[in-house]
Each structure stands twice: as C-alpha cells, then as structure tokens.
Amino acid sequence: MDTYSHINFKLKTVKRFRVYSKQIAKTHTDAMERMLDYFEQNKVSPYESLGPKIITLEHLIKKRFDGLIAIIKNIEKHQSKPLLAIMQSLIQETPEKETDLLDSKLWERLEAKSKTEAIVDPSAPEVIFHKNEKLRVEKELQQVKQELNIILKKVVVVRTNFGRPFYRLNLTEVELENLKLKYKKL
C-alpha cells in the first residue's frame, strides 16, 4: 500500500490545483503524476513559455507547405502542360499543306473526270501516284496510332494529398526528345 505525505502549499494554489485535478484525473495523485510525467517526457520547464515555440513551428510548417505547392506548380507548368500539348498535337490532325491541297484538287478532278468517263485508266501515272501517296499516308497514320497507344499506356495517374490528381508520362528523356524531333518534322 502506498503511503501518503503532506506538502504545504498556499491556499490559493491548492484551490486551483483541486479544480484542475478534477478535470484531468480521478485523484489528485494521478493528476500530479500526469503533470510530472508530461514535464519529464517532453523536457519542458514550467518556467519556459511554449507560445513562441509553437508559433515558430506553425510558421515552419506553413513555409514547407508553400514550398510543396511551389514544387507542384512547377512540375505542372514544366512537365504536365508541355506533355498535354504534345499529346493534343498527336491526336489532332495536322493542317493540310499546299501540296496536299493541290493533290486533293487533282484527286477531285480525277473523280469528276471518272464520273464523266466510263472507265478510269488505273495505270495512269496520276492515279498510281495518288494511290501510292494514299498508302503512304495510311501507313504513316497507323504508325502514329501505334506510337500514341504506346505513349498512352505509359501515362500514369498520380494522386496526391495536396490537390487534384495529375498525369505523369513514364518516358525517359531520350524517348521524349526522339518523339519531339520526329513530330517536329511532320
């Protein structure tokens, strides 16, 4: 059995302690033990003020959050948006060049001519040229579709605690530069 001892305190302090003790523990002994444990474990002196320390800690946390937000915005600006522009340019049709317009006009003339004539000569040089050109463009389109599918398979959704999810493209720098060079030529 634990023995008890008496300590002399001022009456005003005893009243404050009794009120506080009822709030945090069942007995005065438990309350005092909890208070002493808190001071020992956290290495806090009752003569120190915690106010500035907590405010400083809060300020540091806010700075870190601001830094994280800046990093995320930088990633979005320099990685996600250019990638989105590349993906959109791959998906959209390229504008027709002048030669394409001339070829399409020639093709329309051939079609109009074929409607008036009973049979178009399939061995005519213009027809052969346009058939070959059409096959080349279709083959190129198939290659672009395959590359786009490969690129889309490398897109990963990244979900963070700090904002909305974003997309990341898992390509090496060399692969990305090769894609840029290839599609600049088109």
Instruction: Please tell me whether residues 23 and 85 are part of one structural domain.
Output: no
Please tell me the predicted confidence (pLDDT) of residue 104. Answer: 67
Report phi then psi at 164, rounded to 5: -75, 155
12-64 pLDDT per residue, tens:
999 999 999 999 999 999 999 998 998 888 777 777 776 666 667 778 888 88
pTM for the full model?
0.33
Instruction: Please tell me whether residues 86 and 175 are part of one structural domain.
Output: yes
Q: How far does Cα 6 stand from its chain's mean position?
A: 64
**Bridge partners for 155 per DSSP:** 169
User: 120: domain range?
Assistant: 81-185
pLDDT by 10-residue block (mean), the chain, 186 residues = 86 94 92 90 76 72 86 79 75 58 64 57 73 85 85 85 82 86 76
How many domains does the chain fold into? 2
Instruction: Please tell me whether residues 118 and 169 are part of one structural domain.
Output: yes
Instruction: Please tell me whether residues 91 and 172 are part of one structural domain.
Output: yes
Instruction: Please tell me whether residues 35 and 115 are part of one structural domain.
Output: no
Average pLDDT, the chain: 79
CA atoms of 170 and 144, how far apart (whole Å): 18
Position 153 in a domain: yes
Amino acid at 177: E
Instruction: Please tell me whether residues 96 and 158 are part of one structural domain.
Output: yes
Instruction: Please tell me whether residues 27 and 101 are part of one structural domain.
Output: no
Position 68 in a domain: no
Instruction: Please tell me whether residues 22 and 89 are part of one structural domain.
Output: no
Please tell me the predicted confidence (pLDDT) of residue 8. Answer: 92
137 within 8 A of 51, measured Cβ to Cβ: no
Q: Is 178 helix (H, G, I), strand (E, B) or coil?
A: helix
Instruction: Please tell me whether residues 177 and 90 are part of one structural domain.
Output: yes
Instruction: Please tell me whether residues 25 and 117 are part of one structural domain.
Output: no
Tell me whether residue 86 is exposed, middle or buried, using C-beta atoms within 10 angstroms of its C-beta: 0 to 12, 13 to 18, 19 or more: middle
Position 173 in a domain: yes
Position 3 in a domain: no
